Amino acid sequence: MNKSEISTVTQFVLLGFPGPWKIQIMLFSMILLVYILTLTGNTAIICAVRWDHRLHTPMYVLLANFSFLEIWYVTCTIPNMLVNLLSKTKTISFSGCFAQFYFFFSLGTTECFFLCVMAYDRYLAICHPLHYPSIMTGHLCVILVLLCWLIGFLGHGITIFFISQLPFCGPNIIDHFLCDVDPLITLSCAPAHIIEHVSHSVSSLIIILTILYILGSYALVLRAVLQVPSSAGRQKAFSTCGSHLVVVSLFYGTIMAMYVSPTSGNSVAMHKVITLIYSVVTPVLNPFIYSLRNRDMKFALRQVICGMKILKPS
């Protein structure tokens, strides 16, 4: 077939969650509620860290940046998902699909490195408390935050560019609620085994290296905590690290099931559910996980809420 005879795809159809109209309305309402809660919770954490001077420490600065990341992570997928739930066509443009693909993977990669930096911060605070103020300075904190964003947005750029250059001549139906690597490569008219292999290798490498670093950091933290003589000191240390470990477990448990372990035997519906957990459910839980077990954060959030009530016109 000549290249001139190939009809180029200009848009894709995201099937999402097919079903009766009532089911679509119910899903729309639930996901909209989750989206609002995610934006509200993460924005509240950012405001609390910004307004409470006691939280101007590296741990809370990293948490505020993590919350900022979560806001954009859900925003790159959920608004389009909500539109498609109420739409009959459920289409997304070619450029819009690959833009979503790029930002979704880049922000997800950035989150992996943020979790590493947060684990490093807790390791220094617990294992080297006397040297912590001189090592984890504000300058280093800014550098680590910038590196997370930089590496995250460069990590998948080349592979996503090459996937976007593949010929797409139809069909254009993606049985998913977002533009993901496997459905896009499947729709390509040309074989792309090398690109697919490289993409999965990069994803697996990033996930495995970061989770090994986090687990290694917390193994050292656990050893240090067990050596603390007082039970109150051990409890405080476990409380400080517990929320971070819960977030790590939720996030990595699902992305490893999706991008590291073999998923060819899983159904398309299972892929959607796994993706929904780490892209929609986990971000809405993070503000609650980080605030409910942190006394300083709960106090700061109460101050934010009281401040909003005061500023609200009567």
- pLDDT attached to residue 4: 44
Helix 21-51 vs helix 58-75: angle between axes, to the nearest 10 degrees?
A: 160
- pLDDT attached to residue 5: 44
User: Under DSSP, is residue 14 helix (H, G, I), strand (E, B) or coil?
Assistant: strand
- Over range 163-177, report the average pLDDT: 88
| Average of per-residue pLDDT values in the chain | 85
Say how far apart CA 161 and CA 62 lie, in whole Å: 30
Lowest mean pLDDT among 114-123, 176-185, 188-197, 220-229: 220-229
Q: Give me the percent of the chain exceeding a pLDDT of 70.
A: 88
Residue 264 phi, psi dihedral angles, 5° rounding? -65, -30
Say how far apart CA 279 and CA 32 lie, in whole Å: 14
Residue 90 phi, psi dihedral angles, 5° rounding? 55, 40
Task: Kindly indicate the confidence band of residue 8, based on its pLDDT and cuts at 50, 70 and 90.
Answer: confident
The answer to whether the CB of 175 falls within 8 A of the CB of 18 is: no
Alpha helix ranges (H) inside the chain: 21-51, 58-75, 78-86, 94-127, 132-135, 138-155, 157-164, 181-187, 193-226, 231-259, 268-276, 282-292, 295-311
In this predicted model, which residue has the larger pLDDT, 299 or 210? 210
User: Under DSSP, is residue 93 helix (H, G, I), strand (E, B) or coil?
Assistant: strand
Structure confidence by residue, pLDDT tens digits, 32-51:
999 999 999 899 889 888 88
Most confident of 32-36, 122-126, 196-200, 221-225: 32-36
- pLDDT attached to residue 111: 93
pLDDT of 250 strictly over 60: yes
- pLDDT attached to residue 2: 45
Structure confidence by residue, pLDDT tens digits, 105-161:
999 999 999 999 999 998 998 889 899 999 999 899 999 999 999 999 998 888 888
Domains and CATH numbers, the chain: 9-311 (1.20.1070.10)
- pLDDT attached to residue 1: 42
pLDDT of 177 strictly over 80: yes
- pLDDT attached to residue 238: 66
Task: Kindly indicate the confidence band of residue 310, based on its pLDDT and cuts at 50, 70 and 90.
Answer: very low
- pLDDT attached to residue 311: 47
Structure confidence by residue, pLDDT tens digits, 232-246:
666 666 666 777 778
